[in-house]
Structure 1
Amino acid sequence: MTVVHRRDFLRIAAASAAGLAITGAPLRSALGAPLMIGVLIPGSKSDKGWMESGYDGMRAAEKRHGDKIKVSFIENVKFADMEQALVALATKNALVIGVGGQTEASVRKVAKRFPKVKFSVVGGNRGTQDDNVSQYDVRQAEIAFVAGAAAAMLSKNGAISYVGGLEIPAIVNAGKEFGNGARSIKPDIKYTESYTGDFDDVAKSKEATLAAISQGADIHYHILNLGLRGMEQAAREKGTHIIGSYTDRCGTNPLYVAYTITGVGFQVEYAIDQVVAGTWHAEFKPFGLAMGPKASDIAICSGSTPEMLARLNEIKKSILAGTIKVLES
């Protein structure tokens, strides 16, 4: 595994701007050589959230495929620098993966310059299908509905909250469905929904969580990255609890009563598996509950009963059957 540093991708991008020839890497540079794969992680790979889940999937694929692949990655890239980072990765790799919908616009732009390179976006949106770009939809709204039902059953106060980062459709729809899921269990539950405008702002996440706690919320759900630390601080100070996102980490922190699995890492693995097998093709692919528990599920860490687990399983089946309809991610 190789970490590409900022100075390196800026140098490559500068060469591109100067008009020097840049070509995409072939699938294999020589017979028996490893398949070159580049991964763009916009945030921190240790955020306990979306980015870390993507990083974990990358490492799992790297371990499983061994010397068949060689992976490089760039993390903590600001939006203004994403195009430059993607150029650096596309120059040296056969497959480039953007971990997050915020990479999609830059991926589409860079993909046109590198038609021989394959690109996959985890958290991509349905839209115009480019010949060398795949978009994978995590369908966060589905599992958010299930999380809302769990929160309503776990709450002792009859009050819950949700904090999202950017107020964009995928994040807002997840918040709406979290509330809908809670109301399917307790129609009169008190629900507080807020957005910080930044997935990584610790202070704003703490402020939003404390505001919800002042309204009685004792179970919190989120779509945050590093901002999650603020929610944890608030919950720790006030004795409330969190339903975590992205990865099952039950047993690692008593603040968490449950975790949703949203398969970010699973989708990174999917892209790598497809290109290694020679079956990768440009597609829009919804994941979610239909793709199984590695793609979407919920794990209750504490406080569950057989009746609760049975009810949550019924809800998941109803979503899959279409009798419970949720918003698109």
Structure 2
Amino acid sequence: MFHFSSSRRASLILAALGCTLLAQGAQAADPLTVGVLIPGSKSDKGWMESGFDGLTAAQKEFGAKIKVQMIENINYADMEQALTNLAGKNQLVIGVGGQTQAAVMKIAKRFPKTKFSIVGGSKGDGLPNVAGYDVKQAEIAFVAGAAAAMLSKTGAVSYVGGMEIPSIVNAGKEFGKGAAYINPKIKYFENYTGDFDNVAKSKEATLAAIAQGADVHYHILNLGLRGMEQAAKEKGTHIIGSYTDRCGSDPLYIAYSITGVGFQVQYAIKELVAGKWAAGYKPFGLAMGPAASDMKVCGATPEMKSKLEQIKKDILEGKIKVLEG
């Protein structure tokens, strides 16, 4: 049997305590794991790129506090498998786009301990581990329509959406209503390609609108936007971009609607880090401020800025009522 002096026992206790504290410190320093599914291309100049920008900003903000796994360019048929992969390895999984919602809701039931956030989520049957963030695209689409009517020289504007689902259709309707709010005689052309990434179909739809006089175009597309760009460049018309303010980067674009896709990706991660992440439906839109929803006209006159600000205010106050989505 070994006997230790009181001082020796105290040293051993302190050493053991020190090891425990070091272990606790190492455990506390473990990064929070975040999986991100970007169904399209992270360089699409649209929704997906905005989401990726938000992820990049979160990584810069939180550094070693988070560890990120990202999957991009996934077909609908492979979405559940991609989400399963992410859910098995991460504490939070973010689906960037409403098109991920059905798959997220299915996979979330299999991984009840994993948190899921859907950027572009809508109201529906809630799960205790799923948060749906509604970008409220219809709100800012109305403002974009108003801007388009102010910018149009021909009195005709157009919209091309991808999949013909409620949020995309509602945004198209509100864009047309916003244009008519400024110019009741405006001609408005609306088309859906059935695919956010089909370049040929979006070009064809835009060219058809141009043939009928449209000179300002709006969209909810991903890579399909390339087709709209090709048509506008060929015919000398212009585009109102979506999601991120890139004024001055391309003369084809004369304005941008901000729909805060990246803001919501960053928001989900920020809430996780702060220990405040909560399930349930959360509307964003104009009420969450300019980082979440705004309208930027490149080189806008003071009068134009004032009118657009008033329209945003009227939407927030309910004087102008817009559809959901």
Q: TM-score, normalised by structure 2?
A: 0.91
Q: Distance in 1 between matches of 2:163 and 2:109?
A: 27
Cα-to-partner distance string for 1:164-215 (whole Å, 9 max, x where unaligned)? 0011110000000000000000001010000111100000000000000000
How far has the Cα of 1:129 moved from its partner?
A: 1.4
Q: What are the superposed Cα offsets for residues 254-302 of structure 1, whole Å, 9 maximum, x if unpaired? A: 0000000000000000100000000001020000000000000011113
The residue matched to 2:70 in structure 1 has which SS? strand
**SS, match of residue 29 in structure 2:** coil
Q: Structure 2 CA distance, aligned partners of 1:272 and 1:223?
A: 25
> Which of 290, 302, 306 is equivalent to 1:293?
290
Aligned equivalent of 2:322 = 326
Whichever residue aligns with residue 186 of structure 2, its letter is I
Query: What is the number of residues matched between the two proteins?
Result: 301
Taking every aligned residue pair, what percent have the same amino acid on both sides?
73
The alpha carbon displacement at 1:31 in A equals 2.7
Q: Secondary structure at the match of 1:324?
A: coil
The CA RMSD over aligned residues, in Å, is: 1.1
1:29, CA displacement in angstroms? 9.7
Per the TM alignment, residue 229 of structure 1 is displaced from its structure 2 partner at its CA by 0.4
Letter in 2 for 1:73: M
Letter in 2 for 1:145: F
CA displacement, residues 299-319 of structure 1 (integer Å, 9 cap, x when unaligned):
1113x2111111000000000
Unmatched tracts of structure 1, length 5 or more: 1-27
- Write out the 4+ residue segments of structure 1 that deviate beyond 4 Å after TM superposition: none
Partners of 1:114 and 1:29 lie apart in 2 by 27
Match of 1:211, as an amino acid?
A: A
Choose from 229, 232, 255 the match for 1:232: 229
Summarize the alignment of residues 239-318 of structure 1 with structure 2, pairs less than 5 Å apart.
239-302=236-299, 304-318=300-314
Cα deviation for residue 110 of structure 1 reads 0.8
> C-alpha distance in 2, partners of 1:222/1:53?
15
TM-score, scaled relative to structure 1: 0.90
**2:276 & 2:291 partners in 1: Cα distance?**
20
Q: Which amino acid aligns with 2:319?
A: T
Residue type at the aligned position of 1:247: T
Aligned to 2:89: 92
Query: Which structure would you say has the larger Rg?
Result: 2
Amino acid at match of 2:321: K
Q: Counterparts of 1:1-329 in structure 2 under 5 Å?
A: 30-302=27-299, 304-329=300-325
Could you list the runs of 5+ residues in structure 2 that have no partner in the other structure? 1-24
> Which amino acid in structure 2 is aligned with residue 169 of structure 1?
P
Give the SS at the match of 2:295: strand
